[in-house]
Amino acid sequence: MDNPKYKELKGKVVGITGGGGILCSTLAHAFANQGAKVCVMDLNREAAQTVSEKINNAGGSAMCIKVDVLDRESLEEAKKAIAERFGPCDILINGAGGNHPLGTTSNPYLTKEDLLETAKDFKTFFDLDTEGIQFVFNLNFIGTLLPTQVFSKDMVGREGCNVLNISSMNAFTPLTKIPAYSGAKAAISNFTQWLAVHFSKVEIRVNALAPGFFLTDQNRSLLTNPEGGLTPRGTIIIDQTPMGRFGEPEDLVGTTLWLCSEQSKFVTGIVVPIDGGFSAFSGV
């Protein structure tokens, strides 16, 4: 933490929702390594506390807060606590998100035989639960919009402030089986562009990352077997990824720091794929 590459990030106040997760906790450490003051926000307070304690024990500056990104009051309380300790947020990372089984089909393609399936957990497109789909949309899109409304208001007119959203490479081309998640991430990409234009006169830049396939607590069992091999879906993904591997959390760091630093001060409204070439590959 003594030799930051992006020296202009030193002292910046960075709020990260979903900060207790694998990917966003890595980003939290990366900002701390640049001398930023990091607030780790997560619905799981224990996970957020673990991340903040590691940063502080390593000589960085961090705090943790339990936050529900779908509850404005929770977000307002978090903003107040951050301001009292560190000052107003300069950078917001909207990292909270996820999928739900009730918004997921059992098979990638519909067949006539699927309509005869009687297994309780089997779901075709016609069985998708509207509550599950709404949960996914709310968590990903509303869970990005609400924190932005709360935290970015204090950024208006201040130099060096920006918002970084987390979209997905399936916002470009939707994946099979997960229509709710794909649609919600596409909405985030669109919102990123809209907000970048809307905020362009008040010194706030807005961009997004579009990660490809990274192993997280949410998808590890879907992509890998307990013994370490790939599931059939995991095999398809690696075969469609030109670089031939899953992403590692550290693969997000360089782009994130660049987008949030003054070295990209004329960059706003972009969605950057970090996917090992997945979105560029036609399959042939």
Distance CA 259, CA 190 (A): 18
Q: Give Cα 250 to chain centroid, integer Å.
A: 14
Pick the catalytic residue from 181, 191, 213, 278. Answer: 181
What's at 170, amino acid-wise? N
> Virtual CA dihedral for 225, 228, 234, 240, nearest 10 degrees?
-170
| Pair 203, 156: CB distance under 8 Å | yes
Distance CA 164, CA 167 (A): 10
Instruction: Give the contacts of 198 (CB within 8 A, at least 6 positions apart).
Output: none
> Virtual CA dihedral for 168, 173, 177, 182, nearest 10 degrees?
40
Q: Which whole-number Å values give the CA distances from 184 to 77, 98, 108, 179, 270, in the listed order?
A: 26, 10, 18, 8, 17
What's at 221, amino acid-wise? S
Q: What is the CA radius of gyration of the chain?
A: 19
Distance CA 268, CA 148 (A): 15
Q: Which two tokens stand for residue 228?
A: 């370490």
The question of whether 6 is a catalytic residue gets the answer no
Instruction: Give the contacts of 127 (CB within 8 A, at least 6 positions apart).
Output: none
Residues taking part in catalysis: 181
